[in-house]
Chains A and B, each alone.
Chain A
Amino acid sequence: MTSFIDIFHTYGWKDIQHSIATKTHADVERALYASHRTLEDFKALISPAALPYLETMAQMSQQLTQKRFGKTIQLFAPMYLSNECNNICTYCGFSFDNRVKRKTLTESEIRQEIDVILNNGFKHILLVTGESDAHVNIDYFKKAIAAIKQSFANISIEFQPLSTAEYQTLHDAGVHSVLVYQETYHQDVYKTYHPKGRKSNFNYRLETPDRIGQAGMHKIGLGVLLGLEDWRTESFFCALHLDYLQRTYWQTKYSISFPRMRPAEGIIEPNVIVTDHDLVQMICAYRLFCEDVELSISTRESEKLRNNIIPLGITSMSAGSKTNPGGYAVEPTSLEQFEISDERSSKEIAALIARSGYEPLWKDWDLSFAR
């Protein structure tokens, strides 16, 4: 069976980087006024040549987003199940070489955590783990999902890459979406960020969305870790991936997240700085390229950015998040993946959304569709 790898390997990082850098104002204008935008148009929109057009892009992004999604922002909460991890990732607080006490939630601890999350108003939940087969494997996932299924309308997961059969099992168990970020599409340097563990296999990770698509999941979430490599080139490859997946797994929805590197225990400094300006350009470019892709912003981002980003094209936000297992109730001081920036509660974020003229959406799915 063909996969994204076949397409990916026909492109070179340096060629793409050069092609983006040499886009002109004329290319940007052609992209802005095209009735259907191509990957070449996307390159123009993320290029330095697009900088003078950012306000125009933002206005077009707002219009397209409202047409498709309305004036609504979906809210979700992450729940970290475990910080056990056998991978070394130089940017992650859960990295195996980070010699700190680890924690995996038991079923009763999961129940304590979800009580708090439900009390915060959430009906959509994102379950997160590190990668450790001994502690968090398919049996653990099935039990965890069974424990929370009655309480939530929509369950997303961000676990280690799994097999197609395992994704099918989780889909049948009630999982709606799977998030898997490539971290970087720059294959030459991938291994320096992921020197040890199963995650160091670039191709296996790159093929993961194919396996999720084959398993029939409702939604696949893509993204790159912003701060590792040139974000413009990364964005092109992520858009290429999205374009391939949409054509291949046409019944699946897609989302893109924008994780920007945040301080965490024992990690490296960002290699490149992605500014707020860059992030806004990225969001608008993705929206202009793909009207229907969901765009998500987490509590990694500052209050200032989150206050202003709502009408620019994003469709979902997390709020009041904890990035450590047990963070909501059981063990507030366990090892966290990264420090959050926006510490406001879910109610404060809902009020912010309403003040911006948008409706906070707590529920936009029903598990009855998953039967």
Chain B
Amino acid sequence: MQPLSIAGKEFHSRLFLGTGKFGSLTQMRDAVLASGSELVTVALKRMDLETDTDGMVVSLQHPGINLLPNTSGARNAKEAVFAAQLAREALETNWLKLEIHPDPKYLLPDARETLKATEELAKLGFVVLPYIHADPVLCKQLEDAGTAAVMPLGSPIGSNKGLKTADFLEIIIEQSKVPVVIDAGIGTPSHAAAAMEMGADAVLVNTAIAVAGDPVAMARAFSLSVEAGRIAYEAKLATPIKHAVASSPLTAFLHD
């Protein structure tokens, strides 16, 4: 499996993890380690930035794990940019998962505010990974704005419904100059494998692992499926044939 490069940094795992929703920090850490993930996202709002002993951050201190702070809770570009600066200061990383969802019901991303914040944050030197709709035009606009990757959703966040946006994800993957990370809605290892076979550069999974009966085993299952899907993609999948090719009634005359 080829390594993935985002903003000059190499990743040997193409599975990124979210850290919310786990039953305990120990369980979260064990699942992260079992997944082999090298990039895990942590919500700024969950972190206690005033002390050096935030449980979440401490439990993720491991040489192989990079933290990707996210702005979950921000309702507009202004709040997100401010939160990003706090996160950079507290965690000493300029990497940022940009999440702006003004709608607390389905947590759907605000395209206009996300584009605006990406422009500002890129200028401020952030490595921006924005969570967005599977909108191919928006992805190109984000590229122009200086995004490091795009993170389109497969289906509503936390829904476990899989790649409902598959047709648009294919267009995004086809057109993108930056890595494409499928972010939300991946509910099973087979969804993750399908995303990788499609040519996604990575996937981010949280709910499906965190609320599984055995989160550690599920993390391992996702790790295997992501790797399998990527190797299959690199090995060039056979094209599915949906029709018979035994005879050639339309072109047979050419050989007469």
Instruction: Give me the interface of A with B, judged by CB distance under 8 Å.
Output: 66-72, 123, 153, 246, 250-253, 292, 354, 357-359, 361-366, 368-369, 371
Instruction: Flag if B23 contacts A357 (CB, 8 Å).
Output: yes
Q: Which residues of B contact A250 (CB under 8 A)?
A: 103, 105
Closest-CB distance, A251 to chain B (whole angstroms):
5
Closest-CB distance, B88 to chain A (whole angstroms):
12
Q: Which of B26-51 contact A (CB under 8 A)?
A: 44-49
Q: Which residues of A contact B79 (CB under 8 A)?
A: 368-369, 371
The 27 sampled A-B contact pairs (Cβ below 8 Å) are A66-B21, A67-B207, A70-B22, A70-B210, A71-B23, A72-B20, A123-B48, A153-B45, A246-B105, A250-B103, A251-B104, A292-B105, A292-B106, A358-B23, A359-B22, A361-B46, A363-B47, A364-B46, A366-B45, A366-B49, A366-B86, A368-B44, A368-B79, A368-B86, A369-B75, A369-B82, A369-B83
Q: Which residues of B contact A246 (CB under 8 A)?
A: 105
Q: Which residues of A contact B106 (CB under 8 A)?
A: 292
Q: Which residues of A contact B207 (CB under 8 A)?
A: 67, 70
Q: Which residues of B contact A292 (CB under 8 A)?
A: 104-106
Q: Which residues of B contact A153 (CB under 8 A)?
A: 45, 48
| Bound complex: CA A172 to CA B37 (Å) | 40
Closest-CB distance, A208 to chain B (whole angstroms):
20
Instruction: Flag if A366 contacts B211 (CB, 8 Å).
Output: no
Cross-chain contact of B21 among A72, A123, A251 (Cβ < 8 A): A72
Instruction: Flag if B104 contacts A252 (CB, 8 Å).
Output: yes
Instruction: Flag if A371 contacts B211 (CB, 8 Å).
Output: no
The answer to whether A251 and B211 touch (CB under 8 A), given A246-B105, A369-B45, is no
Instruction: Flag if B211 contacts A359 (CB, 8 Å).
Output: no
Q: Which of B71-112 contact A (CB under 8 A)?
A: 73-75, 79, 82-83, 86, 102-106
Instruction: Flag if B211 contacts A67 (CB, 8 Å).
Output: yes
Task: Name the residue among A123, A292, A354, A363 with the largest chain B CB count within 10 angstroms.
Answer: A363
Cross-chain contact of B24 among A251, A354, A363, A369 (Cβ < 8 A): A354
The answer to whether A359 and B24 touch (CB under 8 A), given A67-B207, A70-B210, is yes
Query: Could you give, for residues 159-199 of chain B, a 1 whenever the CB lies within 8 Å of some chain A CB and a 0 otherwise?
Result: 11000000000000000000000000000000000000000
Q: Which residues of B contact A68 (CB under 8 A)?
A: 158
**Chain A CB within 8 A of B25 CB:** yes
Q: Which residues of A contact B159 (CB under 8 A)?
A: 67
Q: Which residues of A contact B210 (CB under 8 A)?
A: 70-71
Q: Which residues of B contact A363 (CB under 8 A)?
A: 45-48
The answer to whether A71 and B45 touch (CB under 8 A), given A368-B83, A368-B86, A371-B79, is no
Q: Which residues of B contact A369 (CB under 8 A)?
A: 45, 73-75, 79, 82-83
